[in-house]
Amino acid sequence: MPSTDSVGFVGLGVMGEPMCRNLAEKSDVELIGYDIRPESLEHLATFGVLAAESVADVATRCDIIFLSLPAAEHVRAVCTEEAGLLTHCSAGATVIDLSTVPPSLAQDLHAKFGTRGISFADAPVARSRHAAVDGTLSIMFGGDAKVLERVHEFLACMGTDITHCGGPGTGQVVKILNNMLLFDTCVSIAETLVMGERAGVDPQLLVETLSKGSADSFALRTHAAKAMLSNDYPEDAFSVRYALKDLTYALQIADETGVDARAGQLVREYFNQAIDAGLGEQYHPVVKKLVEGSEG
């Protein structure tokens, strides 16, 4: 492993906890975790993860710190508030943000940390919670090549595909566009399944047959086969509200680049309707219920 005294992990939620566990099981460094929920820390203690008292505590004890937080406001707070990383990290430290945030925030934090001699890079992750548990995430890195070299083996504990996308913020661009395309595809699949069933085709047969042809996709083989066919949309998966957050970031990029992202705009309508219908906490392929007209 890279030479370091200790590694910190801030944010131990749906994705962060299994990523931290994989890091604990596959590396030989001292790992220090922090989350506002004590139950995550209690569970990870069985894997040797030490509990920090605060973000500042992590900052003062660790050379490399990973973040996995729900949204931009949480990343900004953890980094820039008085008790945050910018104030308490030492020069020479490295902060890697695994969260999904706007590229502009990643670029701003890269600059702010840089003025204090601290390396910052964005490394958002893709695939599912199952991939986080299995350590098979796709990680999209935006930042300096030397920083990636320093943390690569740690990232490899969490993911099987690590892509250097370019400079600061580019990892976020690729991740956000990945999610927009996924959401677009899921809405198209939902419409396809409803049309096929109403036209007399067995939905299972439809998914299996489409997956053998040019319509095949990751979304068809996972989101359709594992959620839409059984109408199983758990609340401990990637919810409509989280999906809308990422889609909003994507549409901001569309505005900034002068692209009329109509497919994304349609998906936003579906997501807002799902939230209005009380489905906001359910797994985002639940938009199929809206297509069916069975949102109740």
Number of domains in the chain: 2
Q: Find the CATH number of the domain harbouring 50.
A: 3.40.50.720
Q: Is the pLDDT of residue 79 over 60?
A: yes
Report the distance separating Cα 183 and Cα 188, nearest Å: 9
Same domain for 230 and 149:
no
Q: Is the pLDDT of residue 295 over 60?
A: no
Mean pLDDT of 30-40: 94
Same domain for 179 and 113:
no
At 5, the pLDDT band (50, 70, 90 cuts) reads confident
What's the DSSP call for residue 260? Answer: -
pLDDT in tens, 262-278: 999 999 999 999 999 99
Mean pLDDT of 242-267: 97
Q: What are phi and psi of 72, to 5 degrees?
A: -60, -40
Q: Is the pLDDT of residue 296 over 60?
A: no
Same domain for 161 and 37:
yes
Domain extent for 234: 173-292
Position 129 scores a pLDDT of 84
Same domain for 10 and 145:
yes
Question: Which of 231, 13, 40, 215 lies closest to 125 in space, CA to CA?
Answer: 13
For residue 241, being part of any structural domain is answered with yes
Q: Is the dihedral of CA 36, 162, 236, 69 positive or negative?
A: positive
Q: Find the CATH number of the domain harbouring 244.
A: 1.10.1040.10
Position 4 scores a pLDDT of 59
For residue 34, being part of any structural domain is answered with yes
Same domain for 284 and 198:
yes
Percent of the chain with pLDDT strictly greater than 90 = 94
For residue 249, being part of any structural domain is answered with yes
Q: Write out the two tokens for 98.
A: 């695994």
For residue 118, being part of any structural domain is answered with yes
Whether residue 216 contacts residue 210, with contact meaning beta carbons closer than 8 Å, is answered with yes
Percent of the chain with pLDDT strictly greater than 70 = 98
Question: 183-194 in b/e burial notation, b at 16+ Cβ within 10 A?
Answer: bbbbbbbbebbb
Same domain for 84 and 131:
yes
For residue 1, being part of any structural domain is answered with no
Same domain for 182 and 159:
no
Q: Is the pLDDT of residue 181 over 90?
A: yes
Mean pLDDT of 29-50: 95
For residue 213, being part of any structural domain is answered with yes
Whether residue 126 contacts residue 137, with contact meaning beta carbons closer than 8 Å, is answered with yes
Report the distance separating Cα 206 and Cα 39, nearest Å: 42
Q: Write out the two tokens for 257.
A: 């680049």
Report the distance separating Cα 252 and Cα 129, nearest Å: 26
Same domain for 280 and 184:
yes
Q: Is the pLDDT of residue 294 over 80?
A: no
Contacts of 282 (CB under 8 A, 6+ apart): 233, 234, 235, 239, 240, 274
Same domain for 196 and 156:
no
Q: Is the pLDDT of residue 228 over 60?
A: yes
Position 277 scores a pLDDT of 96
Same domain for 41 and 156:
yes
Report the distance separating Cα 150 and Cα 110, nearest Å: 16
Q: Is the pLDDT of residue 3 over 70?
A: no
Q: Is the pLDDT of residue 215 over 80?
A: yes
Report the distance separating Cα 213 and Cα 244, nearest Å: 30
For residue 201, being part of any structural domain is answered with yes
Which of 166, 198, 216 is the endpoint of a domain?
A: 166
Same domain for 158 and 197:
no
At 2, the pLDDT band (50, 70, 90 cuts) reads very low
**What average pLDDT does the chain have?**
95
Same domain for 69 and 13:
yes
Mean pLDDT of 134-162: 98
Task: Please indicate, yes or no, whether the overall pTM of this predicted structure exceeds 0.85.
Answer: yes
